Structure 1
Amino acid sequence: MAILNLPEPVLEFDHVYAAYNGAIAALHGVSLTVRKGEITALLGANGAGKTTLLKAASNLLPAERGQITGGRIRYKGRDVTADTPHAHIRNGLVPVLEGRRCFKSLSIEENLTTGAIGRGLDRAQIAQVLEQVYDLFPKLKLRRNSLAGLTSGGEQQMAAIGRGLMARPEVFLLDEPSMGLAPLVVAEIFETLSRLNRETGLTILLAEQNSAIALKYAHHATVIENGRSVLNGPASDLAARADIRALYLGGTPEPVRI
Protein backbone atom coordinates (compact mmCIF):
# COMPACT_ATOMS: atom_id res chain seq x y z
CA MET A 1 0.00 0.00 0.00
CA ALA A 2 1.37 3.44 -0.95
CA ILE A 3 1.97 5.85 1.89
CA LEU A 4 0.73 9.36 1.23
CA ASN A 5 3.34 12.02 1.87
CA LEU A 6 1.02 14.67 3.31
CA PRO A 7 2.20 18.06 4.53
CA GLU A 8 2.49 18.35 8.30
CA PRO A 9 -0.56 19.50 10.29
CA VAL A 10 -0.23 23.05 11.58
CA LEU A 11 -3.74 23.74 12.91
CA GLU A 12 -5.84 20.86 14.24
CA PHE A 13 -9.46 20.85 15.41
CA ASP A 14 -10.25 17.69 17.38
CA HIS A 15 -13.96 17.16 18.15
CA VAL A 16 -14.44 20.79 19.13
CA TYR A 17 -17.52 21.86 21.10
CA ALA A 18 -18.24 25.51 21.90
CA ALA A 19 -20.99 27.52 23.56
CA TYR A 20 -21.92 31.09 24.38
CA ASN A 21 -23.03 32.29 27.82
CA GLY A 22 -22.48 28.76 29.09
CA ALA A 23 -25.70 27.57 27.50
CA ILE A 24 -26.06 28.36 23.80
CA ALA A 25 -24.31 25.53 21.97
CA ALA A 26 -22.64 26.57 18.70
CA LEU A 27 -20.28 23.71 17.84
CA HIS A 28 -20.94 20.00 18.29
CA GLY A 29 -17.74 18.05 17.75
CA VAL A 30 -16.15 19.67 14.69
CA SER A 31 -12.94 18.06 13.46
CA LEU A 32 -10.61 19.14 10.67
CA THR A 33 -6.92 19.44 9.95
CA VAL A 34 -5.20 22.37 8.26
CA ARG A 35 -1.90 21.31 6.71
CA LYS A 36 1.11 23.49 6.11
CA GLY A 37 1.21 25.22 2.73
CA GLU A 38 -2.37 24.39 1.79
CA ILE A 39 -5.64 26.27 1.39
CA THR A 40 -8.42 24.68 3.41
CA ALA A 41 -12.03 25.76 2.89
CA LEU A 42 -14.60 25.66 5.68
CA LEU A 43 -18.00 25.61 4.00
CA GLY A 44 -21.50 25.97 5.33
CA ALA A 45 -24.60 28.14 5.43
CA ASN A 46 -24.95 31.26 7.53
CA GLY A 47 -25.19 30.19 11.17
CA ALA A 48 -23.52 26.82 10.63
CA GLY A 49 -20.71 27.65 13.07
CA LYS A 50 -17.92 28.77 10.74
CA THR A 51 -17.25 32.09 12.46
CA THR A 52 -17.33 30.50 15.90
CA LEU A 53 -14.76 27.93 14.82
CA LEU A 54 -12.38 30.57 13.45
CA LYS A 55 -12.73 32.71 16.57
CA ALA A 56 -12.10 29.66 18.72
CA ALA A 57 -8.84 29.03 16.82
CA SER A 58 -7.59 32.51 17.73
CA ASN A 59 -8.88 32.29 21.33
CA LEU A 60 -11.29 35.16 20.65
CA LEU A 61 -14.41 33.47 22.05
CA PRO A 62 -13.96 34.66 25.66
CA ALA A 63 -14.32 38.26 24.46
CA GLU A 64 -17.87 37.36 23.37
CA ARG A 65 -18.79 35.28 26.43
CA GLY A 66 -18.01 32.12 24.55
CA GLN A 67 -15.74 29.20 25.29
CA ILE A 68 -14.56 25.85 24.02
CA THR A 69 -16.50 23.31 26.07
CA GLY A 70 -15.05 20.12 24.63
CA GLY A 71 -12.31 18.82 22.38
CA ARG A 72 -9.12 20.70 21.56
CA ILE A 73 -7.64 23.06 19.00
CA ARG A 74 -3.87 22.92 18.54
CA TYR A 75 -1.68 25.39 16.68
CA LYS A 76 1.80 24.00 16.05
CA GLY A 77 0.97 21.31 18.60
CA ARG A 78 0.05 23.76 21.38
CA ASP A 79 -3.45 24.20 22.80
CA VAL A 80 -4.75 27.54 21.48
CA THR A 81 -6.40 28.41 24.79
CA ALA A 82 -2.95 28.63 26.39
CA ASP A 83 -2.17 31.87 24.51
CA THR A 84 -3.84 35.26 24.13
CA PRO A 85 -5.07 36.48 20.73
CA HIS A 86 -2.18 38.94 20.68
CA ALA A 87 0.33 36.15 21.35
CA HIS A 88 -1.18 34.13 18.50
CA ILE A 89 -0.62 37.01 16.07
CA ARG A 90 3.02 37.30 17.15
CA ASN A 91 3.31 33.56 16.58
CA GLY A 92 1.91 33.79 13.05
CA LEU A 93 -1.75 32.84 13.53
CA VAL A 94 -3.56 35.86 12.07
CA PRO A 95 -7.34 36.27 11.70
CA VAL A 96 -9.25 38.55 9.35
CA LEU A 97 -12.71 38.76 10.85
CA GLU A 98 -16.01 38.95 8.99
CA GLY A 99 -17.25 42.39 8.00
CA ARG A 100 -14.00 44.10 6.85
CA ARG A 101 -13.72 46.15 10.07
CA CYS A 102 -11.57 48.94 8.70
CA PHE A 103 -10.89 52.07 10.72
CA LYS A 104 -13.05 54.31 8.56
CA SER A 105 -11.52 57.59 9.74
CA LEU A 106 -7.98 56.41 8.89
CA SER A 107 -6.44 56.27 5.44
CA ILE A 108 -5.93 52.98 3.65
CA GLU A 109 -2.21 53.11 4.38
CA GLU A 110 -2.80 53.88 8.06
CA ASN A 111 -5.18 50.91 8.23
CA LEU A 112 -2.54 48.66 6.71
CA THR A 113 0.15 49.89 9.09
CA THR A 114 -1.94 48.99 12.14
CA GLY A 115 -1.61 45.35 11.13
CA ALA A 116 2.16 45.47 11.53
CA ILE A 117 2.03 46.91 15.04
CA GLY A 118 0.66 43.71 16.57
CA ARG A 119 3.52 41.73 15.03
CA GLY A 120 6.12 44.12 16.44
CA LEU A 121 7.73 45.06 13.13
CA ASP A 122 10.18 47.95 12.94
CA ARG A 123 9.90 50.85 10.48
CA ALA A 124 12.03 49.23 7.78
CA GLN A 125 10.11 45.97 8.00
CA ILE A 126 6.80 47.83 7.82
CA ALA A 127 7.90 49.64 4.65
CA GLN A 128 8.98 46.36 3.08
CA VAL A 129 5.76 44.51 3.84
CA LEU A 130 3.70 47.51 2.79
CA GLU A 131 5.22 47.39 -0.69
CA GLN A 132 4.49 43.67 -0.85
CA VAL A 133 0.84 44.34 -0.04
CA TYR A 134 0.68 47.08 -2.68
CA ASP A 135 2.16 44.66 -5.19
CA LEU A 136 -0.63 42.19 -4.41
CA PHE A 137 -3.37 44.83 -4.39
CA PRO A 138 -2.42 47.67 -6.78
CA LYS A 139 -5.79 49.34 -6.16
CA LEU A 140 -4.79 49.96 -2.56
CA LYS A 141 -1.67 51.79 -3.64
CA LEU A 142 -3.79 54.11 -5.77
CA ARG A 143 -6.08 54.75 -2.79
CA ARG A 144 -3.37 54.76 -0.10
CA ASN A 145 -4.21 58.30 1.09
CA SER A 146 -7.99 57.92 0.88
CA LEU A 147 -10.04 57.51 4.04
CA ALA A 148 -11.07 53.87 4.28
CA GLY A 149 -14.67 54.86 4.94
CA LEU A 150 -14.84 56.55 1.55
CA THR A 151 -13.59 53.56 -0.45
CA SER A 152 -15.61 50.77 -2.05
CA GLY A 153 -16.56 47.55 -0.32
CA GLY A 154 -14.03 45.66 -2.41
CA GLU A 155 -11.26 48.08 -1.53
CA GLN A 156 -12.15 47.82 2.15
CA GLN A 157 -11.99 44.03 1.97
CA MET A 158 -8.62 44.22 0.25
CA ALA A 159 -7.47 46.60 2.99
CA ALA A 160 -8.66 44.21 5.70
CA ILE A 161 -6.79 41.32 4.07
CA GLY A 162 -3.76 43.53 3.50
CA ARG A 163 -3.78 44.59 7.15
CA GLY A 164 -3.67 40.91 8.12
CA LEU A 165 -0.81 40.29 5.73
CA MET A 166 1.12 43.14 7.35
CA ALA A 167 1.39 40.89 10.42
CA ARG A 168 3.36 38.37 8.35
CA PRO A 169 1.04 35.40 8.97
CA GLU A 170 2.11 31.79 8.84
CA VAL A 171 -1.52 30.65 9.04
CA PHE A 172 -4.12 33.08 7.73
CA LEU A 173 -7.72 32.76 8.98
CA LEU A 174 -10.23 34.45 6.67
CA ASP A 175 -13.91 34.75 7.52
CA GLU A 176 -16.22 35.22 4.51
CA PRO A 177 -13.83 37.20 2.28
CA SER A 178 -16.39 37.23 -0.57
CA MET A 179 -19.35 38.53 1.44
CA GLY A 180 -21.24 41.35 -0.25
CA LEU A 181 -18.77 41.79 -3.10
CA ALA A 182 -19.23 41.77 -6.87
CA PRO A 183 -18.13 38.56 -8.64
CA LEU A 184 -15.20 40.24 -10.39
CA VAL A 185 -13.87 41.57 -7.08
CA VAL A 186 -14.31 38.16 -5.45
CA ALA A 187 -12.35 36.54 -8.29
CA GLU A 188 -9.58 39.12 -7.92
CA ILE A 189 -9.28 38.52 -4.17
CA PHE A 190 -9.20 34.74 -4.52
CA GLU A 191 -6.64 34.91 -7.33
CA THR A 192 -4.44 37.00 -5.03
CA LEU A 193 -4.83 34.54 -2.14
CA SER A 194 -3.99 31.67 -4.48
CA ARG A 195 -0.91 33.53 -5.70
CA LEU A 196 0.22 34.06 -2.11
CA ASN A 197 -0.21 30.39 -1.39
CA ARG A 198 1.72 29.32 -4.49
CA GLU A 199 4.57 31.82 -4.21
CA THR A 200 5.09 31.98 -0.44
CA GLY A 201 3.56 28.77 0.89
CA LEU A 202 1.14 30.72 3.08
CA THR A 203 -1.28 28.39 4.84
CA ILE A 204 -4.88 29.58 4.62
CA LEU A 205 -8.09 28.52 6.35
CA LEU A 206 -11.06 30.35 4.89
CA ALA A 207 -14.69 30.18 5.92
CA GLU A 208 -17.04 30.71 3.00
CA GLN A 209 -20.68 30.47 1.99
CA ASN A 210 -19.63 30.82 -1.65
CA SER A 211 -18.70 27.17 -2.10
CA ALA A 212 -18.03 27.43 -5.85
CA ILE A 213 -15.21 29.95 -5.54
CA ALA A 214 -13.79 28.34 -2.40
CA LEU A 215 -13.63 24.86 -3.91
CA LYS A 216 -12.01 26.24 -7.05
CA TYR A 217 -8.95 27.41 -5.12
CA ALA A 218 -8.82 25.18 -2.02
CA HIS A 219 -6.84 21.97 -1.65
CA HIS A 220 -9.13 20.48 0.98
CA ALA A 221 -12.59 21.34 2.28
CA THR A 222 -14.80 20.60 5.25
CA VAL A 223 -18.55 21.19 5.25
CA ILE A 224 -20.22 22.00 8.55
CA GLU A 225 -23.95 21.98 9.22
CA ASN A 226 -25.61 23.05 12.46
CA GLY A 227 -22.26 23.08 14.24
CA ARG A 228 -21.21 19.60 13.07
CA SER A 229 -18.67 18.60 10.44
CA VAL A 230 -20.57 16.46 7.93
CA LEU A 231 -18.15 16.15 5.01
CA ASN A 232 -14.45 16.56 4.36
CA GLY A 233 -12.01 15.65 1.64
CA PRO A 234 -10.09 16.99 -1.35
CA ALA A 235 -11.82 20.09 -2.68
CA SER A 236 -11.79 18.76 -6.24
CA ASP A 237 -13.66 15.64 -5.12
CA LEU A 238 -16.37 17.61 -3.35
CA ALA A 239 -16.75 19.99 -6.28
CA ALA A 240 -17.14 17.09 -8.74
CA ARG A 241 -19.94 15.29 -6.90
CA ALA A 242 -23.40 16.42 -7.98
CA ASP A 243 -25.09 14.87 -4.92
CA ILE A 244 -22.86 16.83 -2.53
CA ARG A 245 -23.40 20.05 -4.49
CA ALA A 246 -27.16 19.57 -4.24
CA LEU A 247 -27.26 18.64 -0.56
CA TYR A 248 -24.70 20.98 0.93
CA LEU A 249 -23.24 23.41 -1.57
CA GLY A 250 -26.25 25.00 -3.20
CA GLY A 251 -25.94 23.18 -6.51
CA THR A 252 -28.56 21.50 -8.68
CA PRO A 253 -28.66 17.70 -8.87
CA GLU A 254 -28.27 16.12 -12.25
CA PRO A 255 -31.48 14.67 -13.72
CA VAL A 256 -32.06 10.94 -13.30
CA ARG A 257 -31.65 9.10 -16.59
CA ILE A 258 -34.17 6.33 -17.26
Structure 2
Amino acid sequence: MSVTKEIKRITTETLRKMKFEGEKISMLTAYDFTIATLVDKAGTEVILVGDSAANVMAGHETTLPITLDQMIYHSQCVVRGAKRALVVVDLPFGTYQSDPQRALDSAIRIMKESGAHAIKLEGGEEVAESIRRIVNAGIPVMGHLGLTPQSIYQFGSYKVRAKDDAEAQKLLDDAKLLEELGCFSLVMEKIPAGLATKVTESISIPTIGIGAGNGCDGQVLVVHDMLGLNNEFKPKFVRKYLNLEDQVVEAIGQYVADIKSTDFPNSNEQY
Protein backbone atom coordinates (compact mmCIF):
# COMPACT_ATOMS: atom_id res chain seq x y z
CA MET A 1 0.00 0.00 0.00
CA SER A 2 1.54 3.29 -1.10
CA VAL A 3 1.33 6.30 1.14
CA THR A 4 1.23 9.73 -0.46
CA LYS A 5 3.41 12.15 1.44
CA GLU A 6 1.50 15.20 2.62
CA ILE A 7 2.65 18.43 1.01
CA LYS A 8 2.58 21.22 3.55
CA ARG A 9 1.90 24.61 2.00
CA ILE A 10 4.28 27.43 2.89
CA THR A 11 2.38 30.39 4.36
CA THR A 12 3.24 33.88 5.52
CA GLU A 13 3.30 32.48 9.05
CA THR A 14 5.86 29.89 7.94
CA LEU A 15 8.16 32.70 6.82
CA ARG A 16 7.77 34.56 10.12
CA LYS A 17 8.65 31.38 11.98
CA MET A 18 11.69 30.84 9.78
CA LYS A 19 12.99 34.32 10.60
CA PHE A 20 12.40 33.76 14.29
CA GLU A 21 14.25 30.43 14.19
CA GLY A 22 17.09 31.76 12.02
CA GLU A 23 16.34 29.58 8.99
CA LYS A 24 17.07 31.31 5.70
CA ILE A 25 14.28 31.73 3.12
CA SER A 26 14.73 30.82 -0.55
CA MET A 27 12.78 32.65 -3.25
CA LEU A 28 12.91 32.47 -7.06
CA THR A 29 10.86 33.89 -9.87
CA ALA A 30 8.72 31.80 -12.22
CA TYR A 31 6.36 32.82 -14.99
CA ASP A 32 5.01 29.54 -16.41
CA PHE A 33 3.74 26.14 -15.30
CA THR A 34 6.82 24.09 -16.22
CA ILE A 35 9.41 26.23 -14.45
CA ALA A 36 7.10 26.79 -11.47
CA THR A 37 6.76 23.01 -11.09
CA LEU A 38 10.55 22.58 -11.05
CA VAL A 39 11.17 25.49 -8.69
CA ASP A 40 8.52 24.12 -6.35
CA LYS A 41 9.82 20.55 -6.54
CA ALA A 42 13.33 21.76 -5.64
CA GLY A 43 12.07 23.02 -2.27
CA THR A 44 11.96 26.79 -2.80
CA GLU A 45 9.78 28.41 -0.16
CA VAL A 46 8.53 31.40 -2.19
CA ILE A 47 7.84 31.79 -5.90
CA LEU A 48 7.62 35.34 -7.17
CA VAL A 49 5.65 35.97 -10.33
CA GLY A 50 7.70 39.06 -11.02
CA ASP A 51 6.97 41.91 -13.37
CA SER A 52 10.44 40.95 -14.65
CA ALA A 53 8.34 38.78 -16.97
CA ALA A 54 8.31 41.93 -19.09
CA ASN A 55 12.07 41.49 -19.56
CA VAL A 56 12.73 37.75 -19.67
CA MET A 57 9.47 36.58 -21.24
CA ALA A 58 8.51 39.49 -23.49
CA GLY A 59 11.87 41.12 -24.27
CA HIS A 60 11.09 44.61 -23.00
CA GLU A 61 13.89 46.88 -21.79
CA THR A 62 12.12 47.65 -18.50
CA THR A 63 9.36 46.15 -16.36
CA LEU A 64 6.97 49.01 -17.10
CA PRO A 65 5.07 47.69 -20.16
CA ILE A 66 3.58 44.55 -18.60
CA THR A 67 -0.15 44.81 -17.88
CA LEU A 68 -2.35 43.55 -15.07
CA ASP A 69 -4.04 41.07 -17.40
CA GLN A 70 -0.64 39.69 -18.43
CA MET A 71 0.47 39.37 -14.81
CA ILE A 72 -2.73 37.49 -14.00
CA TYR A 73 -2.11 35.10 -16.91
CA HIS A 74 1.45 34.33 -15.79
CA SER A 75 0.23 33.91 -12.20
CA GLN A 76 -2.45 31.43 -13.22
CA CYS A 77 0.21 29.31 -14.93
CA VAL A 78 2.53 29.41 -11.91
CA VAL A 79 -0.18 28.62 -9.36
CA ARG A 80 -1.02 25.42 -11.25
CA GLY A 81 2.57 24.26 -10.87
CA ALA A 82 3.22 25.31 -7.26
CA LYS A 83 2.02 22.65 -4.82
CA ARG A 84 4.04 23.78 -1.79
CA ALA A 85 5.57 27.24 -2.32
CA LEU A 86 3.95 30.52 -1.38
CA VAL A 87 3.13 32.34 -4.63
CA VAL A 88 3.59 36.12 -4.58
CA VAL A 89 2.62 38.32 -7.53
CA ASP A 90 3.95 41.76 -8.46
CA LEU A 91 1.42 44.52 -8.94
CA PRO A 92 2.52 46.01 -12.28
CA PHE A 93 3.39 49.64 -12.88
CA GLY A 94 0.39 51.95 -12.99
CA THR A 95 -1.98 49.73 -11.03
CA TYR A 96 -1.41 51.09 -7.52
CA GLN A 97 0.80 54.20 -7.37
CA SER A 98 -1.68 57.02 -7.80
CA ASP A 99 -5.00 55.64 -6.55
CA PRO A 100 -5.39 53.46 -3.42
CA GLN A 101 -8.78 52.23 -4.60
CA ARG A 102 -7.30 51.12 -7.90
CA ALA A 103 -4.52 49.42 -5.95
CA LEU A 104 -7.07 47.45 -3.96
CA ASP A 105 -9.05 46.56 -7.08
CA SER A 106 -5.86 45.36 -8.80
CA ALA A 107 -4.84 43.23 -5.84
CA ILE A 108 -8.32 41.71 -5.59
CA ARG A 109 -8.26 40.79 -9.29
CA ILE A 110 -4.91 39.01 -8.91
CA MET A 111 -6.07 37.05 -5.87
CA LYS A 112 -9.48 36.09 -7.32
CA GLU A 113 -8.42 35.34 -10.88
CA SER A 114 -5.05 33.66 -10.34
CA GLY A 115 -5.34 31.88 -6.99
CA ALA A 116 -2.05 33.39 -5.80
CA HIS A 117 -1.37 33.83 -2.10
CA ALA A 118 0.02 37.38 -1.83
CA ILE A 119 0.97 40.47 -3.82
CA LYS A 120 4.12 42.59 -3.90
CA LEU A 121 4.47 46.29 -4.61
CA GLU A 122 7.28 48.80 -4.67
CA GLY A 123 7.74 51.85 -2.45
CA GLY A 124 7.39 53.08 1.11
CA GLU A 125 5.61 56.11 2.47
CA GLU A 126 4.47 57.11 -1.05
CA VAL A 127 2.23 54.04 -1.34
CA ALA A 128 1.27 53.69 2.32
CA GLU A 129 -2.46 54.21 1.77
CA SER A 130 -2.51 51.61 -1.02
CA ILE A 131 -0.81 49.09 1.27
CA ARG A 132 -3.18 49.92 4.13
CA ARG A 133 -6.27 49.29 2.00
CA ILE A 134 -4.95 46.03 0.57
CA VAL A 135 -3.90 44.67 3.97
CA ASN A 136 -7.24 45.72 5.50
CA ALA A 137 -8.97 43.69 2.81
CA GLY A 138 -7.17 40.59 4.05
CA ILE A 139 -4.62 40.35 1.25
CA PRO A 140 -1.00 39.64 2.30
CA VAL A 141 1.44 42.28 1.04
CA MET A 142 5.18 41.97 0.47
CA GLY A 143 7.01 45.31 0.29
CA HIS A 144 9.95 46.26 -1.93
CA LEU A 145 12.53 48.96 -1.13
CA GLY A 146 15.91 50.06 -2.45
CA LEU A 147 16.25 49.82 -6.21
CA THR A 148 12.64 49.72 -7.37
CA PRO A 149 12.70 48.88 -11.10
CA GLN A 150 9.31 50.45 -11.81
CA SER A 151 10.93 53.82 -10.95
CA ILE A 152 13.96 53.30 -13.17
CA TYR A 153 13.34 56.41 -15.27
CA GLN A 154 13.20 58.48 -12.09
CA PHE A 155 16.44 56.94 -10.81
CA GLY A 156 18.13 57.18 -14.21
CA SER A 157 20.23 54.04 -13.70
CA TYR A 158 20.38 50.64 -12.00
CA LYS A 159 23.13 51.71 -9.60
CA VAL A 160 23.20 50.79 -5.92
CA ARG A 161 20.65 52.74 -3.87
CA ALA A 162 20.75 54.19 -0.32
CA LYS A 163 24.51 54.76 -0.22
CA ASP A 164 24.14 58.26 1.26
CA ASP A 165 22.90 58.84 4.80
CA ALA A 166 19.63 60.56 3.86
CA GLU A 167 18.44 57.83 1.50
CA ALA A 168 19.60 55.13 3.90
CA GLN A 169 17.59 56.69 6.74
CA LYS A 170 14.50 56.94 4.53
CA LEU A 171 14.82 53.28 3.60
CA LEU A 172 15.08 52.31 7.26
CA ASP A 173 12.07 54.48 8.12
CA ASP A 174 10.09 53.05 5.20
CA ALA A 175 10.91 49.50 6.28
CA LYS A 176 9.55 50.17 9.75
CA LEU A 177 6.47 51.82 8.23
CA LEU A 178 5.80 48.79 6.00
CA GLU A 179 5.98 46.58 9.07
CA GLU A 180 3.53 48.84 10.91
CA LEU A 181 1.16 48.80 7.93
CA GLY A 182 1.01 45.01 8.11
CA CYS A 183 3.34 43.83 5.33
CA PHE A 184 4.37 40.23 5.99
CA SER A 185 7.77 40.53 4.33
CA LEU A 186 10.10 42.96 2.58
CA VAL A 187 12.34 42.70 -0.48
CA MET A 188 15.43 44.93 -0.48
CA GLU A 189 17.16 45.31 -3.83
CA LYS A 190 20.68 46.50 -4.59
CA ILE A 191 21.53 48.34 -1.38
CA PRO A 192 24.66 48.20 0.81
CA ALA A 193 24.93 44.95 2.75
CA GLY A 194 25.45 46.78 6.05
CA LEU A 195 22.22 48.73 5.64
CA ALA A 196 20.28 45.58 4.70
CA THR A 197 21.56 43.86 7.84
CA LYS A 198 20.57 46.86 9.96
CA VAL A 199 17.06 46.85 8.52
CA THR A 200 16.75 43.08 9.01
CA GLU A 201 17.69 43.43 12.67
CA SER A 202 15.35 46.41 13.16
CA ILE A 203 12.09 44.81 12.03
CA SER A 204 10.26 41.61 12.94
CA ILE A 205 9.10 40.70 9.43
CA PRO A 206 11.35 38.63 7.12
CA THR A 207 13.60 40.47 4.67
CA ILE A 208 14.49 39.05 1.26
CA GLY A 209 17.60 40.40 -0.42
CA ILE A 210 18.64 40.71 -4.05
CA GLY A 211 22.02 42.35 -4.26
CA ALA A 212 21.69 43.26 -0.58
CA GLY A 213 24.21 40.95 1.07
CA ASN A 214 23.87 37.88 3.27
CA GLY A 215 22.46 39.65 6.33
CA CYS A 216 18.90 39.36 5.03
CA ASP A 217 16.52 36.62 6.16
CA GLY A 218 16.38 35.22 2.64
CA GLN A 219 17.43 35.70 -0.97
CA VAL A 220 15.70 36.00 -4.34
CA LEU A 221 16.98 35.79 -7.90
CA VAL A 222 15.37 35.75 -11.32
CA VAL A 223 15.34 32.08 -12.30
CA HIS A 224 16.58 32.83 -15.82
CA ASP A 225 19.63 34.57 -14.34
CA MET A 226 20.67 31.83 -11.91
CA LEU A 227 20.19 29.16 -14.59
CA GLY A 228 22.44 31.09 -16.98
CA LEU A 229 19.89 31.61 -19.74
CA ASN A 230 21.28 35.04 -20.61
CA ASN A 231 25.05 35.33 -20.72
CA GLU A 232 24.91 39.05 -21.50
CA PHE A 233 23.37 39.88 -18.10
CA LYS A 234 26.16 39.73 -15.51
CA PRO A 235 25.37 41.77 -12.39
CA LYS A 236 27.62 41.24 -9.41
CA PHE A 237 24.87 39.79 -7.22
CA VAL A 238 23.88 36.94 -9.57
CA ARG A 239 25.44 33.52 -9.06
CA LYS A 240 24.95 31.31 -12.12
CA TYR A 241 24.33 27.71 -11.12
CA LEU A 242 24.14 26.50 -14.73
CA ASN A 243 25.13 27.79 -18.15
CA LEU A 244 21.95 26.87 -19.98
CA GLU A 245 22.30 29.41 -22.79
CA ASP A 246 25.32 27.63 -24.28
CA GLN A 247 23.91 24.19 -23.56
CA VAL A 248 20.53 24.94 -25.13
CA VAL A 249 22.06 26.58 -28.21
CA GLU A 250 24.39 23.59 -28.62
CA ALA A 251 21.53 21.10 -28.28
CA ILE A 252 19.31 22.92 -30.77
CA GLY A 253 22.23 23.28 -33.16
CA GLN A 254 22.75 19.51 -33.01
CA TYR A 255 19.02 18.99 -33.66
CA VAL A 256 19.21 21.19 -36.77
CA ALA A 257 22.32 19.37 -37.98
CA ASP A 258 20.71 15.95 -37.44
CA ILE A 259 17.69 16.97 -39.50
CA LYS A 260 19.82 18.25 -42.36
CA SER A 261 21.96 15.09 -42.37
CA THR A 262 18.80 12.93 -42.26
CA ASP A 263 20.05 11.34 -39.02
CA PHE A 264 16.81 12.44 -37.31
CA PRO A 265 14.44 10.74 -37.20
CA ASN A 266 16.11 7.34 -37.48
CA SER A 267 14.40 3.99 -37.85
CA ASN A 268 13.70 3.74 -34.13
CA GLU A 269 12.02 7.15 -34.08
CA GLN A 270 9.31 6.55 -36.64
CA TYR A 271 6.20 4.40 -37.02
TM class by smaller structure: 0.3 to 0.5
Higher strand share: 1
The structure whose RCO (Cα within 8 Å, separation 6+) is larger is 1
Larger Rg: 2
Question: With structure 2 as the length reference, what TM-score do the two structures score?
Answer: 0.36
| TM-score w.r.t. length of structure 1 | 0.37
